[in-house]
Structure 1
């Protein structure tokens, strides 16, 4: 009986911390429906307002393949968290370009996490409180231990490919950041 009770308590605790994926809400700042919290790529790319521009921006982007060999090596054992707004023009433009690069490099989708924010750049339950998000999209690159290596905020300085190479090539003591 103790084992069953312990198992039920563990199961309840695990579910209590879980958040609904691809959650939609009425944004009080934007007065329209947006996605919030953790999302999947499919959820974001099929969300009507985001999908309108996603397909066109993904298809029209010509990735800089001259950076691919180096980028593929640098992305090994790295993860990327993308904090975006489904309402945000920069997110609608940069996220499809970024995902096209990841697709061309055949990066495992499990290495990319998506967090959608509302018009005030907040998520629920403190999900992004420690990430210091000022603008979206923000692409946060982390090592296998979860330590931040660097980020691209809002838009790249040169190009997504070149900025990623710069960030991922930076010495460990230097935190490369682009705005």
Structure 2
């Protein structure tokens, strides 16, 4: 019985972890129209329309170094969830900027969860249920499984200053 339970748990873990990363969506003709569910930066940049914007927006964004220095110690142990639509102009603009800021902060990919949604702002398998996503992109900062704050659609000041204000609330 113990072996059966262990086998069942192992099988469940393998199934859960085998979710397709960078799953594409397609139109009626079979043309790739975007990404959905869990994605990563490599998958994002593999889409021609995202790559074109990324190539322009990422180098163009220059995070404020003083704000980056103030943020660095605050980011230890934090997780970032990005919910975006590859079809969304705000996502195409802000996500490369956000990645530039995260790179300046030396945030590793393992601390970032990128979730792409469809035009209805939905992902499959309840992936964003309970996240209260009304606009994309949404950048969520969390620690120990608890949301500390979020930036929705576009920053009020700059991405890094808005991130710093999340910590000022605490």
Give the unaligned 5+ runs of structure 2: none
1:168 offset after TM fit, Å?
Answer: 1.8
CA contact (8 A) 2:21 2:37 kept: yes
Q: Does 1:149 align with 2:161?
A: no
Stretches (4+) displaced over 4 A? none
CA contact (8 A) 1:142 1:148 kept: yes
CA contact (8 A) 2:24 2:32 kept: no
Query: Where in structure 2 are the equivalents of 1:28-177 lying within 5 Å?
Result: 33-143=33-143, 145-171=144-170
Give the unaligned 5+ runs of structure 1: 172-179
1:15 offset after TM fit, Å?
Answer: 3.1
Measured against aligned partners, the alpha-carbon deviations of 1:88-137 in whole angstroms (never above 9, x if no partner) come to 11011001111111111211221111000001100000000110100000
Whole-angstrom distance in 2 between the partners of 1:2 and 1:152:
46
SS at match of 2:148: strand
The residue number in structure 2 matching 1:175 is: none
Q: TM-score scaled by structure 1?
A: 0.86
CA contact (8 A) 2:140 2:147 kept: yes
Q: TM-score scaled by structure 2?
A: 0.91
For the aligned residues, what is the CA RMSD?
Answer: 1.8
